[in-house]
Structure 1
Amino acid sequence: MTALDGLRVLDLSRVLAGPWASQTLADLGADVLKIERPDSGDDTRGWGPPWLTAGDGEDSQESAYFLCTNRGKRSLRIDIQSTEGQERLRELAGRADVVIENFKVGAAARYGLDYKSLSRENPGLIYCSITGFGQTGPLAARPGYDFLVQAMGGLMSVTGEADGQPGAGPQKVGVALTDIMTGLYANVGILAALAERERSGLGQQVDLALLDVTAATLANQASNFLVGGITPTRLGNAHPNIVPYQSFKARDREFIVAVGNDAQFVKLVTLLELPALGADPRFATNAARVAHQETLIPLLAERFASREATDWLDQLEAAGIPAGPINTIAEALSEPQLVAREMIVNLPHPDNSDLKVVGSPIKLSRTPVSYARPPPRLGEHDEDLNFPLWDDA
């Protein structure tokens, strides 16, 4: 038995935020029907290379991008613009627990697939809408994409090298983090609505906006402005509220030191053979170190530059000071800790039995996640439409 065994999810979304939400629900045991356009399917099916290598050594038609966010689902091709397709989807929505969609505001209503229409036939339906700017407000009708919203939401203004440094300028995060965080917030909203339905018997609409999520996840940076009146700027790998909490260059490569409290700072300067810094009133507390970081950081940087990163990391670990290498993706996915946590999962695919995916980070002691299906081929489960799907009889 999985945590969400028996939960029925109709996924009308595409690309990343919605599919990320439904993939998480599938990992937890939900039965997810992914509805795709008959001709081309989800947009991300075409977002390659790279492509999954087939058994004959040739590239298949499955993009790596699509594979990262669609495991555990059944793929059904339904033409949402046809009357027959709309009727079929309304029938499925009538038996579903959850619908996830990311149409532009108002588009679902044109097909009779909006929350108001579907909830008349299925009052217990949880209907999750994901858009760039939400269902209300002056920008509601605008399309929104992760890159655009990272810019509008302020995230890019605090990402990248500081002004005056080589390569300075705003940068997007290296993955579509706003989409992913929106998918995770969507899961929270869906599960909260399902829990409330246990008491009321009624469903509700969950309204998620990429811009809202970006603002919410600015966290301490937003609070620095709202509480302190400080407009955060780009600091490269430094931290606006903690010092030293950044990258340093060793003789051979950069690495990270993350000193989170005053006791760790004393350990650090002792290790660096700079013990007087620990008693210096300019550096004795974190607030003082933030105020005098332009004096402190060069002193630490000079010492770190004298040895190779591996030497420092070994010593820092032995002293109990948080530190680590700056890994490539290949190095990160080979980390023994991730291997021990079973985060790389083999999920045999019809085109390649050796398909590997990054697994779910959710570890449940009694109802663990499951990987019931690999990411589906386009229309792989169309035949299921010939049988009563989700038949309660």
Structure 2
Amino acid sequence: MPGPLSDILVIDLSRVLAGPYATMVLADLGARVIKVERPDGGDDARAYGPFIGGHSAYFASINRGKQSIALDLKAPDDRRIFEALLEKADVLVDNYRPGVMARLGYGWEALAARYPRLIHAATSGFGQTGPDSTKAAYDMVVQAMGGIMSVTGHPGGPPTRVGTSIGDITAGLFTVIGITTALHDRGRTGPNHGRGQFVDVAMLDGQIAILENAIARYAATGESPGPLGARHPSITPFAAYSCADAPIVIAAGNDQLFAALCGALGLPGDDPRFAGNEARTAHAEELSAVLEAVLLTQPAAHWLPLLDAAGVPSGPLNTIGQALANPQVKARNMVVHTSLPDGTPLIAAGNPIKLSAHADPDTRPPAPDLDADRAAILKELGL
């Protein structure tokens, strides 16, 4: 695809989600991504469901627009091909455990000496340093270890994983930030002009980085926060509330919005229990009962237009299907069309980064079959 990174070649050794998510974002921004997969089956995600006609829709949605070549990095002939790719590459991405690349002969010191312009981004569970650096990790592990599961769910409920692979996706996004930062650093004047660098991103670090006010609350009180369901811990009303037919979310983040909420619902705005955000948060359950006593008298479709007209941030609690059908989501081109390798149509999430100087097409090239681009890549390399 055309885009601001169309002059960038990315060699992608990563698999499953964190690394492939990062390279998908780079591909959506125009980078050429060549996916180097192992010959015996390729990326593990090719075997993950759901399947459509024998093809993994999971793999296709994350690896759209990339090319594939199968290489055994322990085989001399395939190593020569890989090294020819590195000669042309701007970026190398892997998500092996620390030490694997060095054992293959492609540790950072060796790469920097031979390919001084190369940026090597390594996305791993725990990073390249520290006592846990060589531990295996999946999304669930870092969600648990990073504390985010301890503040997810309802009080007294069982441990609850965030509903998407936020450990992988967060690491993938931080990897993109690291890569684009290193590309900028390589291009500007200064001590690193023209030189690549090593980008080290850990999934666990990413989970700590997005704990947001949970860290502030711990710092202020010395106590670890727990789960609160759908309620915000320090802003009220900021939660899901039941209407006659379905719940809606209301987020009145200041006194002016709370006054507007009371006006829309026909409630008096002078109850001393709710005078100011601190008081409302202290009486959150009582406020919820007051709000729901009114909201339960009408369906969600009655209340949402009234809240919108009053300028109160609110919205329905959508299913995935409802979210994808939302006219606002469609207007923002956030549901794009791609296909499986056999041409079967597939929808996927679009690119949330909208750039004024570049088009945001509503289609994406398909994900490749394993080793599908070998002949073309070898011809290009003159091999």
- Regarding TM over 0.5, the answer is yes
Deviations 1:189-227 (A, max 9, x none): 111111111132111100000000000011111222124
Q: Secondary structure at the match of 2:208?
A: helix
- 1:153 is displaced (CA, Å) by 0.4
Kept in 2, the 8 Å contact 1:86–1:111? The answer is: no
Residue 385 of structure 1 aligns to which amino acid in structure 2?
I
Q: In the alignment, does 2:352 pair up with 1:361?
A: yes
Superposition pairs for residues 100-115 of structure 1, below 5 Å?
100-115=93-108
Superposition pairs for residues 181-330 of structure 1, below 5 Å?
181-199=170-188, 200-275=193-268, 278-330=269-321
C-alpha separation between the residues in 2 aligned to 1:389 and 1:220?
A: 51
The two structures have a TM-score, normalised by structure 1, of 0.92
Kept in 2, the 8 Å contact 1:129–1:207? The answer is: yes
Q: Secondary structure at the match of 2:199?
A: strand
C-alpha separation between the residues in 2 aligned to 1:342 and 1:294?
A: 39
Superposition pairs for residues 23-62 of structure 1, below 5 Å?
23-48=24-49, 50-52=50-52, 59-60=53-54, 62=55
C-alpha separation between the residues in 2 aligned to 1:19 and 1:319?
A: 43
C-alpha separation between the residues in 2 aligned to 1:297 and 1:350?
A: 50
- 1:228 is displaced (CA, Å) by 4.0
C-alpha separation between the residues in 2 aligned to 1:236 and 1:361?
A: 27
The two structures have a TM-score, normalised by structure 2, of 0.94
- 1:348 is displaced (CA, Å) by 4.3
- 1:349 is displaced (CA, Å) by 4.3
Q: In the alignment, does 2:372 pair up with 1:380?
A: yes
Kept in 2, the 8 Å contact 1:95–1:390? The answer is: no
C-alpha separation between the residues in 2 aligned to 1:19 and 1:223?
A: 32
Q: In the alignment, does 2:325 pair up with 1:334?
A: yes
Kept in 1, the 8 Å contact 2:90–2:117? The answer is: yes
C-alpha separation between the residues in 2 aligned to 1:288 and 1:94?
A: 63
Deviations 1:166-197 (A, max 9, x none): xx122111110111111111000111111111
Deviations 1:261-290 (A, max 9, x none): 111111112222221xx2233312112211
Q: Secondary structure at the match of 1:242?
A: coil
Q: Secondary structure at the match of 1:231?
A: coil
- 1:343 is displaced (CA, Å) by 1.6
Partner residue of 2:338 out of 343, 347, 353: 347
- 1:142 is displaced (CA, Å) by 0.3
C-alpha separation between the residues in 2 aligned to 1:327 and 1:179?
A: 24
- 1:353 is displaced (CA, Å) by 4.7
- 1:67 is displaced (CA, Å) by 1.4
Q: Secondary structure at the match of 1:282?
A: helix
Kept in 1, the 8 Å contact 2:25–2:351? The answer is: yes
Deviations 1:68-105 (A, max 9, x none): 21111101111123232223222212221100001111
C-alpha separation between the residues in 2 aligned to 1:40 and 1:302?
A: 57
Q: Secondary structure at the match of 1:324?
A: strand
Label 1:100 to 1:369 Cα distance change in 2 as closer, same or farther (>3 A): farther
Q: In the alignment, does 2:107 pair up with 1:118?
A: no
C-alpha separation between the residues in 2 aligned to 1:340 and 1:73?
A: 26
Q: Secondary structure at the match of 1:186?
A: helix
1:56 equivalent in structure 2: none
RMSD of Structure 2 on Structure 1 (CA): 1.7
C-alpha separation between the residues in 2 aligned to 1:139 and 1:92?
A: 32
Kept in 2, the 8 Å contact 1:28–1:369? The answer is: no
C-alpha separation between the residues in 1 aligned to 2:382 and 2:142?
A: 37
1:172 equivalent in structure 2: 161
C-alpha separation between the residues in 1 aligned to 2:133 and 2:248?
A: 43
C-alpha separation between the residues in 1 aligned to 2:5 and 2:378?
A: 25
- 1:47 is displaced (CA, Å) by 0.4
C-alpha separation between the residues in 1 aligned to 2:221 and 2:117?
A: 44
Q: Secondary structure at the match of 2:102?
A: helix
Q: Secondary structure at the match of 2:381?
A: coil
What is the aligned length? 377
1:55 equivalent in structure 2: none
C-alpha separation between the residues in 1 aligned to 2:287 and 2:380?
A: 69
Superposition pairs for residues 125-164 of structure 1, below 5 Å?
125-163=118-156
Structure 1, unmatched stretches of 5+, are: 53-58
Label 1:258 to 1:372 Cα distance change in 2 as closer, same or farther (>3 A): closer
Structure 2, unmatched stretches of 5+, are: none
Kept in 1, the 8 Å contact 2:33–2:66? The answer is: yes
Partner residue of 2:80 out of 79, 87, 92: 87
C-alpha separation between the residues in 2 aligned to 1:197 and 1:78?
A: 29
